[in-house]
Amino acid sequence: MDESKLLEIIAEFTTYGPEELKENMNFSDDLGIDSLDLAQIIMAVEDAYDVELDEEALDSIQTVGDAINMVKNNG
């Protein structure tokens, strides 16, 4: 899986560049991403990677690393 595309998508919703994002960054606390932004990120990721992410598992996405693992496990 090419993580750079995922990081680019996440970066669009933050003030960070894709290269500045770290796996331990929390969407809410570190990146200022609210639940609506996170839902938009998930939709963009699903389109970009042609995957459908498990609805129940989406609630467990708290960090950039969680998002990367979710895509890896569903890709």
Identify whether the C-beta of residue 22 lies closer than 8 Å to the C-beta of residue 68: no
Distance, in Å, from the CA atom of 51 to the CA atom of 16, rounded to the nearest integer, reads: 25
Token digits of residue 6 = 């995922």
The catalytic residue among 2, 29, 34, 37 is 34
Indicate if 34 belongs to the active site.
yes
Q: What are the residue numbers of the active site?
A: 34
